[in-house]
Amino acid sequence: MRRVALAVAFSLALPARGEEIQLPQPAIDALTQIDELPSTAQLDGAFGDQALMNLQMIALDESSIDPGVQLRAVRALTHYCNPLPCSASDPVHTTLTTVATNPRYQDARSGSDLLMLRAAIESLGILRVPGDVTILVPQLQHASRDIRAATAHALRDLGNTQAIAALRARYQQEQVPQVRIAISDALRVLGQPI
């Protein structure tokens, strides 16, 4: 297996499938903090002017990156779309939609793959691209209560009232109090409280 080193000065292309990504220590440090999320300044310090590309590479890797690092990279991508709401064509958005619609993650029922889906859903909510309703709404039916709750929060953050009908419908059948509360909160913010 070829190894591709991510480094501050050179990381200009996404690795080909099967290539193993080696992270420089500053990147690992930035993306493994226990009680803080990396700030933009910290990410820039770790990756230099290639932070966005490196984070994309980490987020899209499917073989060699530590899941803990990858989760934080997905979340950290949201630092690199300014201003918000993000453009649908922005590379941050396209990367996150790629992760969120990856069947490996969408079909996951447990484990770190499910956490990746949750990370992508949460991040899409932050970007506030109205059209992401079509990506998020189906996740209200996900088998995982944590994904359903995260989706309700993301739809709340998205602010698109087109999600109201789907949220109401899910609320009617939802049995888990955690998710019902999340949906109720989303509907309240969207102006249609239960």
Partner 1 sequence: MSSRALPALVLVLLSGCPGGGGSVGDSCSNASDCDGPLQCVEHVCAPRCQRAPECGDGYACDADGLCRAATGEVGDACESEVECGSGLSCQIDGTTATGSGKLPTSCSAQYPGRPAGSECSVDTQCRNGTCALGHCVDLCTDTRDCGSGDACMSIPRIEANGVMFRGCLPARGTIEWTIPVIGPRSDILFPIPDAARSALLVFRVDDVAQKVGALRVDEPNGDPLAPIYKKPCHRSSPTDTTCDDVVAIEQYFAQSVRHLPEAGQSELLLPSTPSTPLIPGAYKVKVSSFRANDSAGSAIPRVTAVLKMDSAVTLDLHFYFLDLDDHPCDAAFGSRRLDAAAAKDATFFQSDFVGELRTVFSGGGLAIGATTYQDLTDHPDLDGLTIDDAGALLSLGAHETGINVFFVRTLSPVGLQAFGPNPGPAGVAGTRQSGVIISVDTLCYRSWSQLARLTAHELSRYMGLYHNVELEVAQHPSWRDPIDDSDASSRNLMFFSELGGIELSPGQREILSKSAVLR
Write out the residues near partner 1 by the rule CB under 8 A.
28-38, 41-42, 45-46, 66-68, 71-72, 74-76, 109-112, 114-115, 118-119, 122-123, 144-146, 149-150, 153, 176-178, 180-182
Cα(33)–Cα(69) distance, rounded to whole angstroms? 9
Q: Whose Cβ is closer to partner 1: residue 74's or residue 127's?
A: 74
The sign of the torsion formed by the CA atoms of 141, 142, 143, 144 equals negative
Residue 22's DSSP bridge partners are 5
Minimum CB separation from partner 1 for residue 120, in Å? 9
Residue 76 or 158 with smaller CB distance to partner 1: 76
The nearest distance, CB 13 to partner 1, in angstroms, is 26
- Minimum distance, C-beta of residue 169 to partner 1, in the bound complex (Å): 20
Cβ proximity to partner 1, 144 vs 162, nearer residue:
144
Tell me whether the omega of the peptide bond preceding residue 130 falls within 30 degrees of 0, making it cis. no
Verify cis geometry, omega within 30 degrees of 0, for the bond prior to 85. yes
Rounded Cα gap, residues 72 and 33, in angstroms: 9
Rounded CA-CA distance 57/128 in Å is 22
- Shortest reach from residue 134's CB to partner 1, in Å: 22
Smaller CB separation from partner 1, 75 or 93: 75
CA neighbor of 71 nearest in space, from 127, 42, 111, 24? 111
CB of 165 to partner 1, least distance (A): 24
- Whether residue 183 contacts residue 175, with contact meaning beta carbons closer than 8 Å, is answered with no
Specify the residue, 119 or 129, whose C-beta has the smaller distance to partner 1.
119
In the bound complex, what is the minimum distance in angstroms from residue 68's beta carbon to partner 1?
5
Q: Which of 119, 166 has the CB closer to partner 1?
A: 119
Determine the Cα–Cα distance for residues 40 and 79; give it in Å rounded to an integer.
6
